[in-house]
A = this chain, B = another copy of it.
């Protein structure tokens, strides 16, 4: 998984908080929530407030740079770069693995044909048990 490079969209100012949030999202290996971004930045000694994080996440989502999603049995929103929006979740340990080369396109055509929708995006979440947890039990 190559680390995708993000930049602040046109029309928005460059602030250290904004840049720090983008960096965390770039480095994240899977969708993370606002609190996690907050803690990550705190650990790096970067001062920021939760409301700033929320406001920026909203902006980035609206601009299409970031995708918001919810996971089973979780009440908080997670955010990730678009290339990390399809993933597998282990029901036992919670491990998250991104689906690269999402095979969605293979049946996209079929969906268009059957329902007539002009498809602009999708999100796939798959649950199961990861190899490690299979061994353990």
**CB-CB under 8 A for A119 and B111, given A68-B72, A70-B70:** no
Contact string against B for A residues 24-35, beta-carbon threshold 8 Å, 1 for contact and 0 otherwise: 000000000000
Expressed in whole angstroms, the Cα–Cα distance for A117 and B129 within the complex equals 5
Residue in B closest to A74 when the chains form the complex, CB atoms? B70
**Contact A119 to B127, CB < 8 A, known contacts A68-B72, A110-B103, A111-B88:** yes
Whether B131 contacts A117 by the Cβ 8 Å rule is yes
| Residues of B contacting A72 in the complex (Cβ-Cβ under 8 angstroms) | 68, 123
Question: At the interface, yes or no: A128 with Cβ under 8 Å from chain B?
Answer: yes
Copy count, this protein chain: 2
Contact call B70/A97, Cβ cutoff below 8 A: no
Most buried by B among A104, A122, A124: A124
CA of A115 to CA of B134 in the docked complex: distance in angstroms?
Answer: 12
